[in-house]
Structure 1
Amino acid sequence: MTRVVVVTGAASGIGAAVARHFGRLGAQVVVADIDVAGGTAVAEEVGGLFVRTDTTREEDNLALVAAAVEAYGGLDFVHLNAGIGDGGGFGRDDYDAARQHRVLTVNLHGVMFGLHAALPVLAAHGGGSLVVTSSMAGVGMAPFDPVYAATKYGVIGLVRSLAPPWQAQGVRINAICPGFVRTPILPPEAIDHIVGEGFALADPAEIAASVAEIAAGEEVGQAYVLQAGRAPEPVAFPRLDLARADA
């Protein structure tokens, strides 16, 4: 059984649901978020540890992993879930370079810092599993938020590129690509629109159960689409064989 779990962006939404899921399984859960009140409440609920973490700061990611090891003696599973949306567009009225930079920093650089902090520690403690939250926007398109989509494509590129070398050290890396999920990242008007268009909204607890299933599996370098009422669906990436000079 997974014993020590770290979840970023765990004060609400998918992250909180993942923390609760593993807490119910008896794991020692480390809740990481910049939201002190929300994160503390989730940590108290699961009998775990809250560590205030700004994932855009490399030192915060390193301190988070160190706190987990100091408190519980090791590390078995990490879910790099923290992320934000609304990077804006490229039109005259919605282009905002500062806002775009913030989305890039949280969604891509924050994941890179988390991977850098967690992977060596997972390997040193006998291996384990790491899941990164991407999005269906990372395998499709999001005309309403192209910068967000770009970061989620980037996350999958990281996962697929890092998975083979770290598999050799006993660490399994995968990504999840949730569809529409009822979380605080979706404002009420967006939820009303999604439901009105006939799309199903997944509950965060449903996503959390899929995350636990993926974490316990043996696959590596996969990106799983998670939608309401469906089992995790691996994305069918093209096989890229390098051409041989003598072929």
Structure 2
Amino acid sequence: MTVKGGTAVARREQTDGATLQGKVAIVTGGAGGLGRATALALGKAGARVVVADLDPQGGKEVADLVGGHFRACDVSDLDANRALVDFAQEQYGGVDIAFLNAGVTTGCGVGEDFDLARYRRAMGANLDGVVFGTHAVLPALRARGGGSIVATASLAGLAAVPLDPLYAANKHAVVGLARSLGQALAPENVRFNAVCPGYAESRIIDDLRDMLAEQGLPVIPAQAVADTVLRIVTGDGTGECWFVQADREPEPFRFRNVPGPGKPAGT
């Protein structure tokens, strides 16, 4: 694998026929939704998969479907992330791919409805889970000469979300990590990218289904997100944030550059 550090270059080929034979993948939040679909896609492509989740029944079911292993893991716990990586190495001898996907809804705002426990829970899963997961898996990827990390962000990480600013905040943070770490880790042959779905089939949208139906907003199939993750993993881009939107071809979001310094007056 050759990394093109700091570029917005990635293969656009279809995932049909993609092969990950001999690769080992960790999928957090793998018991359902996007994690389940992606674990199945990675397994179909030949990867050996470790499914991590707080739901043992759903997680074991997915692990059995891909012929992999299940590990209970609270991604907001740094030591649990380290233990997950150790487990994958014990089972398969190393790690090549990490899909850091576990996430939850926020459930509160910053006004009178602010709830510290809910805030900590959301930041712990949605942001700490990515930071801790990356920290834990990097030594394993380096030991293999490189690898790929994909974090689940959201369209809420690319746009303002007035109805849920805290969710937008932690997803914007994941986008910032992807753009920054993609370049920072490129010299080590480690690629870091994010996938940014709209309203996709998962437990996170359970409370929104009636609203989506009333407004005629389509729900993106989990498989569409899984296919995009597979394209990212088998591509060569880094520091990219791929949007996934209904009835559109997924591709890296094109960020505008910030303005540079102006010229002093009179020059």
| TM-score tier after normalising by the smaller chain length | over 0.9
The residue number in structure 2 matching 1:117 is 136
**Alignment TM-score, normalising by the size of structure 2:** 0.86
Instruction: Quote how far apart the aligned CAs of 1:116 are.
Output: 0.2
Select the residue among 209, 229, 239 that pairs with 1:211. 229
Q: How many Å separate the matches in 1 of 2:146 and 2:260? A: 30
Instruction: Quote how far apart the aligned CAs of 1:21 are.
Output: 0.8
Q: Any conservation in 2 of the 1:12–1:38 contact (CA below 8 Å)?
A: yes
The residue number in structure 2 matching 1:11 is 31
Q: How many Å separate the matches in 2 of 1:52 and 1:232? A: 31
RMSD, matched Cα: 1.9
Per chain length, whose mean CA-contact separation is higher, i.e. which structure has more relative contact order (CA < 8 Å, sep 6+)?
2
Select the residue among 45, 66, 82 that pairs with 2:102. 82
Q: How many Å separate the matches in 2 of 1:224 and 1:212? A: 12
Q: How does 1:27-176 map to 2 (within 5 A)?
A: 27-92=47-112, 94-176=113-195
Instruction: Quote how far apart the aligned CAs of 1:244 are.
Output: 10
**Quick one: which amino acid aligns to residue 210 of structure 1?**
T
- Count of residue correspondences: 245
**Identity in percent:** 43
Q: How many Å separate the matches in 1 of 2:154 and 2:59? A: 23
Q: How many Å separate the matches in 1 of 2:235 and 2:213? A: 32
Q: Any conservation in 2 of the 1:85–1:145 contact (CA below 8 Å)?
A: no
**Quick one: which amino acid aligns to residue 202 of structure 2?**
T
Secondary structure, aligned partner of 1:200: coil
Instruction: Quote how far apart the aligned CAs of 1:90 are.
Output: 2.6
Secondary structure, aligned partner of 2:226: helix
Deviation beyond 4 Å, 4+ runs, structure 1: 240-245
- Give unpaired runs (5+ residues) of structure 2: 1-18
Output one character per residue of 1:202-226: Cα deviation in whole Å (capped at 9) or x when no partner: 1111110111001111111111111
